[in-house]
Structure 1
Amino acid sequence: MEIGKQNANTIYNNERGYQVNNSPGATVNIDARMRIAELRDVLDELRLPPTMDAAAQQELDRADAALDQRYPDTATAAGALDRFTRLLSAAGAFAAAGQSLSGPLRALGDWLAAHSG
């Protein structure tokens, strides 16, 4: 059986609990939001002091909210991720988590660069 050409006005994908609107003209942001979810998982494993953990979670919330739009606010997301990395660097988290942090951060940086104005 062959499936021919299909057209849709709005497509919703559900990935890792996120529903993403892939409407014509919208930016497909599922990959970036998945990387933020990965950073949340790593952050949970780091067991930072409560105030530092809360501040890092807040920056991830800001980045995620900036990306969870039809037209993602890449500047806001980048700023939040910059503050997130500074917090974790000050806590020495990169030495503890290494590739677990740098992989998703690198992927987010690449995504943001590709989708910035």
Structure 2
Amino acid sequence: MTFNIGNQNAANINNVGRDQHITGGQTGIVVTSEQALQALAELRAGVKATRLDPVASIAAEKELRDIEADMSRPEPDRTRIAPKVERLTRVLLAAGSLASAGSALVGPLGMLAHWLGALGAPILDLLPALL
């Protein structure tokens, strides 16, 4: 027997040739482009409200501008955006902002990381367990 499976878009896809047993459930998070843009706007507001030192502020602003430019394209290239979001996360982490600002920064960063899919995994690994 042959299965021809075309494009698949879902949080979880299981193509199983025989038995499959899932224990503990299976979940997935799907973030739309509109939700990702909203998260970016929230992230910008959160960064603006956070008191960063001048060096971190300049670095964060550069990454935010670059992410916004890439996300405003008709078809955003997630492979270009992911490293920028990761760099921004590292800047905020080093400045102590993720711990002090809490969900104001962690929530939008998590949303962007989920929108990036597998490319967002390194970003999620950097975030405090506030998601």
Q: TM-score, normalised by structure 1?
A: 0.69
- Answer whether contact 2:79 2:119 (CA < 8 A) is retained: no
User: For this pair of structures, how many residues does the alignment match?
Assistant: 89
Cα shift readout 1:12-48 (whole Å, capped 9, x = no counterpart): xxxxxxxxxxxxxxxx632212111111111111111
Q: C-alpha displacement at 1:80, in angstroms?
A: 0.5
- Answer whether contact 1:40 1:60 (CA < 8 A) is retained: yes
- Paired position in structure 1 for 2:48: 44
Q: How does 1:11-90 map to 2 (within 5 A)?
A: 29-90=33-94
- Answer whether contact 1:29 1:68 (CA < 8 A) is retained: no
Which one-letter code corresponds to 1:75 in the other structure? T
Aligned-residue CA RMSD (Å): 2.0
- Taking only the aligned residue pairs, the percentage that are identical comes to 38
Provide structure 2 residue ranges, at least 5 long, that are not aligned to the other structure: 1-31, 121-131
Which one-letter code corresponds to 1:47 in the other structure? R
Q: TM-score, normalised by structure 2?
A: 0.62
> Runs of at least 4 residues of structure 1 off by over 2 A?
none
Provide structure 1 residue ranges, at least 5 long, that are not aligned to the other structure: 1-27
**Aligned-partner Cα distance in 2 for 1:102–1:58:** 19
**When you count strand as a share of all residues, which structure comes out higher?**
1
Q: Which has the larger radius of gyration?
A: 2
